A and B are shown apart, each in its own frame.
Chain A
């Protein structure tokens, strides 16, 4: 059953990837577009396909996969379905790092400074959450820690923008922070790929530990899980995945909340099997949302992060409602 689910998700990702390539301002037929992509020369459509739409679709898969995977891993570690990097302020902390890199000009001069700074911000964010919410990850402590971290990161980001000498740059950054894959190129793909790959590797290796953690920390430790190493791997992995995703796409929240929530029943609630499914599901969701922002309000530049929040927040409400009933 699991293999079927992964196959279905992979197929859906490929289909939406193709659809994403065929979606854009230039209204061109699918056959001509694909021809331009694979056998094109230097004409305007060829360049649009190769250097605008292709990297955008690839980034949607990378960003969505990272956010879905990181959400599933954080939830497994804290044993709480509300633990999502965007919701608990890790994306905000990553954004702060990215904004600092952009404002200081570091991003323009040092290669990989932008994802590096975002990773550092995310790392501090994850560390703060794990420290404040404690190992057990009680819902109340987690939510409160998330609120505190979000507030602090937003305030510091606002401070940076507030003191910015260039109001136009600040304006750009505000829009960038809403989360979007518009105007991306292969530069961003190259910038994000190595950091994300590191995050994926660390999180994928945590699967067995997360599975055992279902029975609590003591039982997991007695079953051969090295808890310290597991916590470190997930902290670094989440920071790398979310940091790199934020660095290229701004803050896109709720992906790691909605996707594991929907897929969990389909994998028998198994935290290990949820990881690959959530990665594919996240890619699927972000691809779909990125197609939607271009189709729903063409020419209006609807932001990906805004759309995701509109879809995700109700799911968050629903989860809190259900947990309130269970307590």
Chain B
């Protein structure tokens, strides 16, 4: 099986170091949640790991040729682009050289609950449905490593939970799965390992109950949370933002 290894990975944007000397070793079987506030460098870390942006240091994926990398790692970018009104099944089949009847394509359609939309033009679907179609494409690539940038943003709660369970199941099959997430509650409940990124640096890495402490949540996210254990799992619910992060008077949150 394939590990994902990052050593001293750094990314410069202009003169600013948006990712600093990152070391990370992900093992098959792990579903890793990558969390951090806006601008912490989550997307940059994932892109640099894949070699999609120029970076210093070493990533086990970045030095592969695009064709070889595509067989090892699938990538679900945050921007959900579908340029042409192609049928859903054809979009998903792009992961298997356009073979509509490939078993991976059929399985991915079923797992993302979009099999009933297979012949519909993907551009005519709702945002959440499009997100599931694009995720089905990444699953259909059937790779030992899956990296996803905010995969559950915009999904309804049932599909968010289904998606997190699916990622956990993919990891349990012996794959590496890493997803950047903003929903700390779902991350706490479904990820086996949490990596916290702040100002381009990994500030915590480990099991959810070890990492997601009130101290860290206050320091990194500026929030106060209710943390408990229910039905054998961690429950985390943000309650209040700490003072330094309140919106300014009259500023527009939208």
List residues of A whose CB falls within 8 A of some B CB.
79, 208, 211-216, 218-219, 221-226, 264, 268-272
Return 25 A-B CB contacts under 8 Å, by A number: A79-B81, A79-B83, A211-B94, A214-B81, A214-B84, A214-B86, A214-B94, A215-B137, A216-B81, A218-B47, A218-B75, A218-B77, A219-B134, A219-B137, A221-B52, A221-B66, A222-B75, A222-B77, A223-B70, A223-B141, A268-B86, A268-B87, A269-B86, A269-B121, A271-B84
- Determine if A269 and B66 form an interchain contact, defined as CB atoms under 8 angstroms apart: no
The number of residue pairs between A and B whose CB atoms lie closer than 8 Å in the complex comes to 74
The smallest beta-carbon distance between A139 and chain B, in angstroms, is: 12
- Determine if B90 and A268 form an interchain contact, defined as CB atoms under 8 angstroms apart: yes
State the CA gap A271–B91 with chains docked (Å): 11
CB < 8 Å neighbour of A219 from B77, B84, B87: B77
- Determine if A214 and B67 form an interchain contact, defined as CB atoms under 8 angstroms apart: no
Contacts of A224 in B (CB 8 A): 66-67, 69-71
Contacts of B87 in A (CB 8 A): 268-269
- Determine if A222 and B50 form an interchain contact, defined as CB atoms under 8 angstroms apart: yes
Residue picked from A79, A216, A218, most chain B C-beta under 10 Å:
A218
Question: Knowing A215-B137, A216-B81, A269-B85 touch, does A222 contact B70 (C-beta < 8 A)?
Answer: yes
- Determine if A222 and B86 form an interchain contact, defined as CB atoms under 8 angstroms apart: no
State the CA gap A264–B121 with chains docked (Å): 12
List residues of B whose CB falls within 8 A of some A CB.
47, 50, 52, 66-67, 69-71, 73-77, 79, 81-87, 90-91, 94-95, 97-98, 121, 134, 137, 141
State the CA gap A216–B83 with chains docked (Å): 7
The smallest beta-carbon distance between B42 and chain A, in angstroms, is: 15
Contacts of A272 in B (CB 8 A): 98
Contacts of A79 in B (CB 8 A): 81, 83-84
State the CA gap A270–B85 with chains docked (Å): 8
State the CA gap A208–B95 with chains docked (Å): 11
State the CA gap A160–B69 with chains docked (Å): 51
Additional pairs, 13, CB under 8 Å, beyond known A215-B91, A218-B47, A269-B121: A79-B83, A211-B94, A215-B82, A215-B83, A215-B94, A216-B79, A216-B83, A219-B81, A222-B74, A222-B75, A223-B95, A224-B69, A268-B90
List the 9 closest A-B pairs by CB distance, nearest first.
Answer: A224-B70, A216-B81, A222-B75, A79-B83, A269-B84, A218-B77, A224-B67, A269-B85, A269-B86
Contacts of B86 in A (CB 8 A): 214, 268-270
Contacts of A270 in B (CB 8 A): 84, 86, 90
- Determine if B94 and A212 form an interchain contact, defined as CB atoms under 8 angstroms apart: yes
Question: Knowing A222-B50, A264-B84, A268-B90 touch, does A215 contact B134 (C-beta < 8 A)?
Answer: yes
Residue of B nearest to A225 (CB): B66
State the CA gap A223–B81 with chains docked (Å): 14
The smallest beta-carbon distance between B62 and chain A, in angstroms, is: 12
Residue of B nearest to A81 (CB): B84
Residue of A nearest to B77 (CB): A218
State the CA gap A226–B66 with chains docked (Å): 6
Residue picked from A225, A269, A271, most chain B C-beta under 10 Å:
A269
Question: Knowing A222-B52, A223-B94, A269-B86 touch, does A216 contact B77 (C-beta < 8 A)?
Answer: yes
- Determine if A215 and B90 form an interchain contact, defined as CB atoms under 8 angstroms apart: no
Contacts of B47 in A (CB 8 A): 218
Contacts of B85 in A (CB 8 A): 269
Residue picked from B70, B76, B82, B84, most chain A C-beta under 10 Å:
B84
